[in-house]
Structure 1
Amino acid sequence: MNRKVIIYFTVYFFHVTSSVLSGHAQKDSADGFKRLQYPPGLMNGNFGVSVGYIHYNFTNFQLEPGFTVGAIKIPPVGVRVNLIGHQFNKYLSANIHYLRPVGWVEYQNVNGDNENHTVWMNIAGLTLKTQLPLSRKFSWYGEAGLGIVTRKGFKINNDWAVKNTSYATGFMETGLRFRLNNKWDLIAGLSYTPKNKKEKQPATYFYSSGFTYNMRPLSVEKLSDKKKAEYKFPRNTLQIGIATNSLGYGANNFASKKSPIPFFWGGDAELRNGVSLHYHRNIFHAKKVFSFDWGVSAGVWNTRLQKQTFFTLSAFPILRFNIFHTPSADYYFYYSIAGPTYISKTVLDNEQTGRHFTFQDLLGIGSFIGKDRKINAELNIGHFSNGNIFPYNGGVKVPLTFCLGYTF
């Protein structure tokens, strides 16, 4: 079932990508607005985040025979990220989402060992959502579809105390939506995933509130205003990147651990060095600050401890934010998250990273240089992990990577 679900998710992602690229080319020639309008794959799309109270009743029942626990800590805060959605009409939409607790469940003092053992759990979903207007601003929504529950347990003395599991189930949510304006909605809802006695997994309830950002078609007036701006957004970028740990992992560790609010990920397997090739295509940009690219990349990497060599192939979105514009250069930072990736090895420096399907994340700063912005330079850190859609998810830490590129 996991492989089928991964195929569904990947096919959806590449369907959106291909429709963006093909549809956008038609848009360019049709009305002259080029990359100013949302392309077909993103138009009427949405994304959002909800935060709230998560409840699942982990007890002694999840323990295998022969194990007892002194106490169980269940952190109450959870987060749901709607990675991508599409509004088909006034009443029906589809969503891909990811739901997890902020902190993991802890089994404390198991069999008197005076240690804490974490149980990781998350739910990925592919759902349909319907909504009915209650007034000009308020509407009710109901959501249902496929949920994939993944749990990583723990062993004591090489015996399973809480087992790993991953299985398909149902996912349901209901709630209220308040429309702030054409772009922003506020939502409040309750989601439910049923228990599974066979897998010893309790039901999950999530009471939350959050926001949704809607990518509605832009008006001709807004497109005309954006077209008058003189800022440059290169259409295609080709890069080569050199990664090295010669400067350590300070940037990675700050972003994932030492920052007051972590904003990136680390990894149990650390890379020594690597070489990668990247191609980015810009498909949408705002008037001055924001732009959205699709990218593909191939990389060859070496691990820090055992000097294992492996390769990756990735497709990924890029959210770029221009900070400064000058006559000679533009300076930006960017974030790329959840790019579907093939990784050639799954055990790196004795760390179990999952399966061959994983995700790539990037965080960096850069510049387009020159009057015509033909030269590109970037500095980034990276991360590979499967987002806990599989029980094993050690993660791969990619150190500082220096990229040099050419735009056309």
Structure 2
Amino acid sequence: MKQVFFVLALLLLCQSTSANELLLSAGGGPQPDSDQRNRTYGIDYSFKKFEKSHRQHIHLGVSYTKVKTDTDEHRSFYAISIYPQLNLYPRRQSWGQPYFFVRALGPSYISSNQLGDRHQDNHFAFQAQVGYAARIDWQGREDLVLMVSWKHFSNANIFSDNDGIDMPFVVNVGLNF
């Protein structure tokens, strides 16, 4: 794990492109393999962007996520995450740019290791998110960002209790400045 953080720190020092993308999120839906329904809201800030090509961008960012459920006990937690995000663009466009994105293995601190009937072994988890997005021209640039996705927290079976926590439908809206 230390090597991963060292490599990321080295990449940050060697690159000069900042992302400066701020997103607000909200969503939720039924938890798979459970009777509970989860809701979420949060804020994401991408602070670094690496352009591998005009079709591939990698973003680094931080995220605050609040998750609530409709059960009687263990009704909420918050998560603070660091995430890598891969954006894959199908082609260039002049009006705006659609793309597919994936966040994987974003180390996260979760404030509670239980949400409703879902259990995590401890307060360490990973954030994963996958979805479709678009950068929309606003004020002459691709400033407006709209995303629709599935968001997931789990410990990737590193620890024994690993009931994933899911929000099947999340909408992010934000600005790229």
Q: Shift of the alpha carbon at 1:296?
A: 0.8
Q: 1:381 to 1:281 in 2, by over 3 A?
A: same
Task: Give the AA of the match of 2:24.
Answer: I
CA RMSD of aligned residues (A): 2.2
Matched, 1:287 2:56: no
Distance 1:313 1:13 in 2: 18
Task: Give the AA of the match of 2:58.
Answer: F
Q: 1:268 to 1:18 in 2, by over 3 A?
A: farther
Tell whether the 8 Å contact from 1:295 to 1:315 is kept in structure 2 after alignment: yes
Matched, 1:398 2:130: no
Matches within 5 A, 1:104-253: 235-245=19-29
Distance 1:18 1:271 in 2: 38
TM-score (norm 2): 0.87
Aligned-partner SS, 1:388: coil
Distance 1:290 1:341 in 2: 25
Task: Give the AA of the match of 1:314.
Answer: S
Task: Give the AA of the match of 2:65.
Answer: G
Tell whether the 8 Å contact from 1:334 to 1:365 is kept in structure 2 after alignment: yes
Q: Shift of the alpha carbon at 1:313?
A: 0.4
Aligned-partner SS, 2:131: strand
1:115-138 residue CA offsets vs partner (Å, 9 max, x unmatched):
xxxxxxxxxxxxxxxxxxxxxxxx
Q: Shift of the alpha carbon at 1:267?
A: 6.7
Of residues 126, 149, 166, the one that matches 1:380 is 149
**Where does the alignment leave 5 or more consecutive residues of structure 1 unmatched?**
1-8, 26-34, 36-233, 250-265
Q: 1:383 to 1:363 in 2, by over 3 A?
A: same
Tell whether the 8 Å contact from 2:12 to 2:48 is kept in structure 1 after alignment: no
Q: Which moved more, 1:318-327 or 1:362-371?
A: 318-327
Matches within 5 A, 1:2-401: 9=1, 11-25=2-16, 235-245=19-29, 271-306=37-72, 308-370=75-137, 371-401=140-170
Number of residues paired by the alignment?
A: 174
Distance 2:89 2:33 in 1: 28
**Where does the alignment leave 5 or more consecutive residues of structure 2 unmatched?**
none
Structure label with greater radius of gyration: 1
Tell whether the 8 Å contact from 2:101 to 2:132 is kept in structure 1 after alignment: yes
Q: Shift of the alpha carbon at 1:336?
A: 1.2
Tell whether the 8 Å contact from 2:155 to 2:162 is kept in structure 1 after alignment: yes
Q: Which has the higher helix share?
A: 1
Distance 1:322 1:399 in 2: 23
Tell whether the 8 Å contact from 1:269 to 1:395 is kept in structure 2 after alignment: no
Task: Give the AA of the match of 2:174.
Answer: G
Q: 1:384 to 1:391 in 2, by over 3 A?
A: same
TM-score (norm 1): 0.40
